């Protein structure tokens, strides 16, 4: 049995080789255009891929039921943009915390947190840029400048990391990244507001 957004599908699990084929087939339906999968339940248990194409390894012979839950892509965009402010605040507190650790010569702890911070910052930047490109006709001049400034700073921090200059890294985190994170919290709020207005039309 296949259930999609609460409705039983006429599709039969045994007609497919594996879970991935089922998912691809369902999402190719016209009614699924501009929708995003949020949950997949296989045999009443949540399924999420630990590695790419893991769904391909789950044979249809082992599946009794599949439930697929989706939301409109616009709703997903709104939900994500609504969380971006919190992410910017986490980046802000993270940058100050890592700077403090470097100044206290706790290099091991600082480096571990720094890598996480850089990963989150890159993901944040990619997500914000993707939302603007997809739903708001790309970047305006101010947004493009802020994006470039943050990208340049991440590149500079990567160079400093390679040179193991922890004093300079602490300065960059505290006096460069932290203020930019404060700016990005404001940018995130504006983005969320713009998307709300866009989808209300």
171, 176, 178, 180 alpha-carbon torsion, rounded to 10°? -170
21 CB burial (10 A radius; 0-12, 13-18, 19+): middle
Residue 137 has pLDDT above 80, yes or no: no
For residue range 5-58, what is the model confidence (pLDDT) as tens digits?
A: 999 999 999 999 999 999 999 999 988 988 989 999 999 999 988 888 899 999
Q: Give residue 67's pLDDT.
A: 96
* Domain spans in the chain, listed from the N-terminal domain onward: 2-64, 75-200
Largest CA distance in the chain: 64
pLDDT category of residue 139 using cuts at 50, 70 and 90? low
Q: Give residue 142's pLDDT.
A: 80
pLDDT category of residue 63 using cuts at 50, 70 and 90? very high
Q: Give residue 53's pLDDT.
A: 87
For residue range 66-76, what is the model confidence (pLDDT) as tens digits?
A: 999 999 988 88
- H helix or E strand, kind and range, residue 66: strand 66-72
pLDDT category of residue 99 using cuts at 50, 70 and 90? very high
């Amino acid at each position: 049995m296949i259930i999609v957004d609460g409705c039983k599908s006429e599709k039969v699990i045994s007609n497919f080789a594996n879970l991935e084929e089922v998912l691809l087939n369902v999402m190719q339906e016209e009614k699924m255009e501009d929708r995003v999968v949020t949950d997949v339940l296989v045999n009443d248990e949540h399924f999420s891929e630990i590695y790419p194409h893991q769904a391909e390894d789950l044979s249809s012979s082992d599946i009794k039921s599949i439930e697929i839950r989706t939301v409109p892509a616009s709703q997903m965009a709104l939900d994500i943009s609504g969380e971006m402010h919190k992410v910017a605040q986490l980046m802000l507190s993270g940058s100050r915390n890592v700077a403090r650790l470097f100044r206290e010569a706790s290099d091991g702890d600082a480096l571990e947190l720094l890598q996480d911070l850089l990963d989150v910052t890159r993901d944040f930047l990619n997500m914000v840029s993707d939302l603007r490109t997809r739903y708001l006709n790309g970047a305006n001049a101010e947004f493009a400048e802020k994006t470039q400034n943050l990208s340049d700073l991440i590149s500079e921090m990567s160079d400093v990391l390679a040179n193991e200059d922890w004093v300079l890294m602490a300065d960059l985190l505290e006096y460069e990244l932290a203020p930019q994170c404060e700016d990005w919290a404001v940018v995130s709020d504006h983005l969320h507001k713009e998307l709300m207005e866009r989808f209300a039309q």
